[in-house]
Amino acid sequence: MVRLQVQGIHYGFGRQKVLNGVDLQAAEGECVALFGDNGAGKSTLLSILATRYKPHKGAYLLNGTDVLKQGEYARENLIFIGHHTHLYGHLSPMENLRFSADLRGLRPSDKALRKIIDEVGLGRFAHRPAKGFSAGMRKRLALGRALLFHPALLLLDEPYSALDSKGVAWLNRLLASYLEHGGTLILASHDPERVAALPNRAVRMTGGKLIAESKHADDPVEETQPC
């Protein structure tokens, strides 16, 4: 089933046009990998999908709901992990997860929270304040928080940054399981090799639009193929 439908999205900052008619569709259980040069507009698009920015023009449906009219619906059904993890430094992983769950009106057991913390490899640090964590540990915790909610739509900006090679393998296993359970993942990356371990459809942001990424460097890019 189609989960996300984006059509003709335009956005810019002041006079700078960044998105010039972005079209994108993604189904349940599908991963779309966004590639593109620095400054191409990948993070801007993710911010629009996360409802942080409102497009100047275009349509955006999530599960058939008009997100531009009902942003709250989208925020209840998606998680965006960008360059900032938005964790509370003075809270431990257990407390961070508990607090996020409270905000969403969820009451998971300590056992369920502990299971997630173990899954993200932070079991030994479950009760230590996050402010002493490395960037990779913070990223793991932020991903654990996403796991807690199993959102319909998961938006990840540079998910592999700050992760070591074990962390990358772990993350790809986690994301593969999320997809198998019907989640929809849109991620932006500069790392096609790492993304390749996940079943994904690659698209490239260029000239403010998305085009289907050619599988091989020598293949002609199919400019007209919709994304």
Tell me: does residue 85 bind ligand ATP (CB under 6 A). Answer: no
Tell me: does residue 13 bind ligand ATP (CB under 6 A). Answer: yes
For helices 135-149 and 110-119, the axis angle rounded to 10 degrees is 130
Tell me: does residue 84 bind ligand ATP (CB under 6 A). Answer: no
Candidate list 44, 85, 184, 200; residue touching ligand ATP; CB under 6 A = 44
Tell me: does residue 96 bind ligand ATP (CB under 6 A). Answer: no
Tell me: does residue 38 bind ligand ATP (CB under 6 A). Answer: yes
Give the ranges where 4-125 is alpha helix by DSSP (H): 42-49, 71-77, 93-103, 110-119
Tell me: does residue 48 bind ligand ATP (CB under 6 A). Answer: no
The CB-of-65 to ligand ATP minimum distance in angstroms stands at: 25
Burial label, 114 (beta-carbon count in 10 A; 0-12, 13-18, 19+): middle
Per-residue tokens: 21:
């008619």
3-state helix, strand, coil in the chain (%, to 5): 35, 25, 40
Candidate list 24, 36, 55, 81; residue touching ligand ATP; CB under 6 A = 36
Q: Site for ligand ATP (CB under 6 A): how many residues?
A: 10
DSSP string, 123-166: GGGTTS-GGG--HHHHHHHHHHHHHHH--SEEEEESTTTT--HH
Q: Which is nearer to ligand ATP, 42 or 138 (CB)?
A: 42
Candidate list 4, 6, 9, 18; residue touching ligand ATP; CB under 6 A = 18
Q: Give the residues lining the site for ligand ATP (CB under 6 A).
A: 13, 18, 36, 38-44
